[in-house]
Amino acid sequence: MPLLKCDFFSEALMLSTSMTVILPKKSGEHSGRKSSPVLYLLHGYSDDHTAWTRRTSIERYAEDMGIVVVMPQVDHSYYTDMASGNRYWTFLTEEIPNTVHSMFHLSEKREDNFVAGLSMGGYGAFKWALRYPEKFSAAASLSGALDVSDLLDRVSDNDRKKEFIQIFGEQPVRGTENDLLELIKQGNGAKQLKPMLYQSCGTEDFLYNDNITFKKVCEETDYKLETEFEPGDHNWGYWDKKIQDVLNWLPIQN
């Protein structure tokens, strides 16, 4: 099963970057099918595009499911066009799909496209699916930073505060396009396709309360949300277990 590191120049970032791609033998690349389902799998704040393959058995799980997995590199950007920094939101939502579709035989059908992530990546996955519901049939968050506004209010370290200002700017995040709670409220009742959402977080996780807040807000809307809260912390043992649940939950077309 090929595990590829793809180095390329990003026009959105104006620098060279990398992504990791898993191509299972059961995917369209090797089975003779015209195109393959794809999961965009996003990393957390302290990680990079190699973290999922180094810290979990995602290669083996993807092989069993026959799904291509694309893991981009976004640094500490919170998957945004940063106030003082690079355009990682544009990079993620426009350049990455265009790049991988130019390289591999991936399905462009909504029902074959999914996005998931952990921690910061869980935030990015839900934001991508909620802002572009026509592109994804399902999105999953593991231990996601789902209430960024409240998280920023809790940060006490001055260097971390400065970094968040570089990402989101001086103005409050609440009520903006970077606020998942606002995106959920805006999408409620809208006459458009809505992605299925899967949310998981350990009860000992420092982001547990933020996940409960998201769940409560989402339950007041017409979004279909599946949640799993169980003992666990913010670590790779938990995420390796839960990414298997995500893959089994995804509506992958055989």
Strand order of the β-sheet with 113-118 is 3-10, 15-22, 68-72, 38-42, 113-118, 138-142, 196-202, 225-230
Rounded to whole angstroms, what are the CA distances from 4 to 30, 48, 148, 195? 15, 15, 32, 28
- CA-to-CA distance for 211 and 192, rounded, in angstroms? 25
Give the count of domains, the chain: 1
Residue 173 domain-assigned (yes or no) = yes
Residue 151 domain-assigned (yes or no) = yes
- CA-to-CA distance for 92 and 95, rounded, in angstroms? 6
Residue 57 domain-assigned (yes or no) = yes
What is the share, in percent, of the chain residues with pLDDT greater than 90?
A: 91
Instruction: Let me know the angle formed at the C-alpha of 27 by 21 and 29, rounded to the nearest 5 degrees.
Output: 75
pLDDT the model gives residue 26: 72
Rounded to whole angstroms, what are the CA distances from 69 to 31, 62, 65, 220? 16, 7, 11, 32
Boundaries of domain holding 148: 3-249
What is the share, in percent, of the chain residues with pLDDT greater than 70?
A: 96
Place of tokens 């809505």: 194
CATH classification at residue 67: 3.40.50.1820
Residue 227 domain-assigned (yes or no) = yes
Residue 254 confidence class, pLDDT cut points 50, 70, 90: low
pLDDT above 80: residue 187: yes
27: left (phi over 0), alpha (psi -120 to 50) or beta: beta
The tokens for 94 are 């426009």
DSSP state of 95: I
> At 120, which amino acid appears?
M
- CA-to-CA distance for 93 and 9, rounded, in angstroms? 16
Residue 83 domain-assigned (yes or no) = yes
CA-closest candidate to residue 85, choices 12, 178, 16 = 12
Give the pTM.
Answer: 0.96
- CA-to-CA distance for 63 and 72, rounded, in angstroms? 19
Residue 21 domain-assigned (yes or no) = yes
pLDDT single digits (tens) 198-246:
999 999 999 999 999 999 999 999 999 999 999 999 999 999 999 999 9
Residue 254 domain-assigned (yes or no) = no
CA-closest candidate to residue 243, choices 2, 53, 108 = 53
Residue 172 domain-assigned (yes or no) = yes
Mean local confidence (pLDDT), 124-141:
98
pLDDT single digits (tens) 79-103:
999 999 999 999 999 999 999 999 9
